[in-house]
């Protein structure tokens, strides 16, 4: 029993130390631009191990050097209540969980019949996506999801909405080894992020859930059609 309590005690200490580490990292991000994210490091390792050369595009640019049209397009596409929520949209998350629960049986049947799983619906905000990509692994467990919620609340507590969006736009994936708004603008349109048009911004926003897929299909009818919808809604986006 004493041995068990000993290990439980060390587990609690390690957990507290980890949370303090996260607090320190996030607090520093208020003034220091993060050099990389956990997801980027994982991708760099994957690409380097699978290919002969590591093709990597990323360049940090300040918030005011990213076109407002891209900020609006990403908010409309990914998180239309970004400026107003506390990091988590509980209603959207509850609806996503309810819908996913209903598809679990169909997903199992589809996997058995075709080998292809049904795509589950997400309810993540921009802040949650940033929390996950910055500091966490890609595994999907209840423990990791719980840590994501903690990091989301820490990001909202220590950073302004503008800073959260700035870090997100400079680190989000837009293709194989393409990270951040500046790299994406140069890669797809041969221009800086500050000069993106409304339609170009909308196309980039549509790519976000599946950037590698749409990188291979730049002339996708869905990409163009969905981009037109986002352009029409961009006037309603509230910028931080």
Reported confidence tier of residue 13, pLDDT bands at 50, 70, 90: confident
Tell me what pLDDT residue 103 has. Answer: 52
Identify whether the C-beta of residue 234 lies closer than 8 Å to the C-beta of residue 69.
yes
Q: How far is it, in rounded angstroms, from Cα 93 to Cα 155? A: 18
Tokens 């609340």 belong to residue: 153
Q: How far is it, in rounded angstroms, from Cα 47 to Cα 54? A: 6
Identify whether the C-beta of residue 151 lies closer than 8 Å to the C-beta of residue 131.
yes
Burial (CB count within 10 angstroms: exposed 0-12, middle 13-18, buried 19+), residue 202: buried
Reported confidence tier of residue 120, pLDDT bands at 50, 70, 90: very low
Burial (CB count within 10 angstroms: exposed 0-12, middle 13-18, buried 19+), residue 20: exposed
> How far are the Cα atoms of 42, 64, 115 from residue 112, in angstroms, in the given order?
30, 50, 6
CA 141 to chain CA centroid, nearest Å: 17
Could you give the domains of the chain?
37-86+160-240 (1.10.3810.10)
Tell me what pLDDT residue 40 has. Answer: 93
Tell me what pLDDT residue 111 has. Answer: 47
Mean pLDDT of the region 140-156: 85
At 62, list the tokens: 């300040």
Average pLDDT, the chain: 84
Whole-prediction pTM value? 0.84
Nearest to 69 by CA among 185, 179, 219, 214: 185
3-state class of 176 per DSSP?
Answer: coil
DSSP 8-state symbol, 57? B
Identify whether the C-beta of residue 124 lies closer than 8 Å to the C-beta of residue 109.
no
> How far are the Cα atoms of 19, 187, 198 from residue 215, in angstroms, in the given order?
37, 10, 19
Q: What angle (nearest 5°) sits at the alpha carbon of residue 97, between those of residues 93 and 99?
A: 115
Model pLDDT for residues 58-116, shown as the tens digit of each residue: 999 999 999 999 999 999 999 999 999 888 876 655 555 555 445 555 555 554 444 44
> How far are the Cα atoms of 139, 172, 225, 229, 230 from residue 235, in angstroms, in the given order?
36, 23, 18, 12, 9
Q: Which residues pair with 175 in a beta bridge?
A: 178
Tell me what pLDDT residue 71 has. Answer: 98
């Amino acid at each position: 029993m004493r041995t068990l309590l000993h290990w439980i005690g060390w587990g609690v200490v390690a957990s507290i130390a980890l949370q303090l580490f996260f607090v320190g990292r996030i607090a520093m991000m208020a003034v220091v631009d993060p050099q990389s994210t956990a997801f980027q490091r994982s991708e760099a390792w994957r690409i380097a191990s699978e290919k002969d050369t590591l093709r990597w595009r990323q360049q940090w640019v300040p918030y005011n050097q990213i076109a407002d049209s891209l900020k609006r397009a990403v908010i409309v596409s990914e998180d239309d209540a970004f400026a107003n929520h506390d990091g988590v949209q509980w209603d959207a998350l509850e609806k996503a969980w309810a819908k996913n629960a209903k598809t679990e049986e169909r997903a199992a049947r589809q996997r058995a019949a075709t080998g292809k799983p049904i795509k589950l619906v997400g309810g993540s905000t921009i802040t949650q996506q940033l929390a996950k990509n910055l500091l966490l692994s890609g595994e999907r467990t209840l423990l990791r999801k719980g840590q994501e919620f903690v990091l989301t609340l820490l990001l909202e507590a220590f950073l302004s909405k503008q800073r959260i969006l700035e870090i997100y736009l400079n680190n989000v994936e837009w293709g194989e080894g393409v990270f951040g708004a500046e790299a994406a603008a140069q890669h797809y349109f041969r221009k800086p992020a500050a000069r993106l048009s409304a339609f170009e911004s909308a196309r980039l926003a549509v790519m976000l859930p599946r950037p590698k897929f749409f990188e291979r299909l730049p002339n996708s009818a869905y990409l163009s059609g969905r981009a037109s919808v986002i352009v029409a809604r961009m006037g309603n986006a509230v910028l931080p």
